[in-house]
A = this chain, B = another copy of it.
Amino acid sequence: MAGPRGSRAERAQLAMMLEVTAFPKPGNVDRCHDYASTRLEHFLASAILSRRALERAERGSGGLGSLIRSAVRATSSHRGGNTHFGAFLLLIPLVAGGDIPAARALVGSTTVEDAVAFYQAFALTKVRMLDHDPLDVNNPGAIALLRKKGLTLRDVMAHSAGNDLVAREWVEGFPLTRRAADLLHDHGCGRDAIVATFLELLATVPDTFIAKKHGMAVAEETMRRAAEVRAGTRNLEELDRECIGQGINPGSLADVIIAGIYVALGEGWQWEC
């Protein structure tokens, strides 16, 4: 099970650890920045506490929905709020399948029960949803509606794909995850490659977590600022300070980076330089 690059579960845990300790990452918790209620230790505890659920996924023990629920349940005991919800949505199919093609196949065969379990996982968190949606997890009739309409977990993701880039990964077959892994390979080893990959995605993809929290205009403005950092006309540490100060945290891209690190590690990418 372990192999020369460790078990898949370990690789997923290392990916979560490497993403959160990389710095400077504009707006997100990193080695040098906490938010008041969600700190570095919360992310690292979540990476540690997810082990059992990730091992279940690696053994293929249960559907994707119930595996995601296990991971969320195992990591919701701390008080740091949502830490890795989006990351688990990407990691669980990747760990269960092993790689992106296998994850795509698993996503394609999800069931209504997967969708129900996912909603139950959602209920354990305070993840932001759009208002006035009959499929909103806060709608008490949502689970009955899933069953009535026969919606699978992939259907649920398709419903959200327009405004959630993690859901879009499910529907489109993990293209951004693939791109993140390719960028890591391109940028070489270690922490600096993670930061460069993050900046490149931030400069080219509007972060839907920012959009839900602050509106699409702010997500697009953040994209422009990241592009200026890459062009050398804006200072990276300054952009980080601005984002942190305004609570602009690109959480969805962080989830994609974690998935990308998981994939890249499996392909031989070196986290040590």
Residues of A within 8 A of B (CB): 2, 6, 10, 13-14, 17-18, 21, 31-32, 40-42, 44-45, 47-49, 51-52, 77-80, 191, 271-272
Contact = CB atoms under 8 A, between A and B. Distances in A.
Given A49-B6, A272-B79, A272-B80, A44 B41 contact: no
B13 A41 contact: no
Contact of A17 (B6, B18, B44): B44
Contact of A13 (B2, B40, B48, B77): B48
B14 A40 contact: no
Chain B CB within 10 Å, residue with most, of A6, A78, A80, A191: A6
21 contacts: A2-B52, A6-B77, A10-B48, A10-B49, A13-B48, A14-B45, A17-B41, A17-B44, A17-B48, A18-B41, A21-B40, A21-B41, A21-B44, A31-B31, A32-B32, A41-B191, A41-B271, A42-B272, A48-B48, A51-B51, A78-B272
Nearest to A42: B272
Given A17-B41, A21-B40, A42-B272, 15 more contacts: A6-B77, A10-B49, A10-B51, A13-B48, A17-B44, A17-B45, A17-B48, A21-B41, A41-B191, A41-B271, A41-B272, A44-B44, A47-B48, A78-B272, A80-B272
A110 to B, nearest CB: 27
A100 to B, nearest CB: 23
Contacts of A52: 2
A42 B49 CA distance: 19
A47 B41 CA distance: 13
A6 B40 CA distance: 20
A6 B272 CA distance: 30
Nearest to A22: B41
Contacts of A31: 31-32, 40
Nearest to A78: B272
A19 to B, nearest CB: 11
A6 B18 CA distance: 23
Nearest to A270: B79
A32 B14 CA distance: 20
A210 B238 CA distance: 38
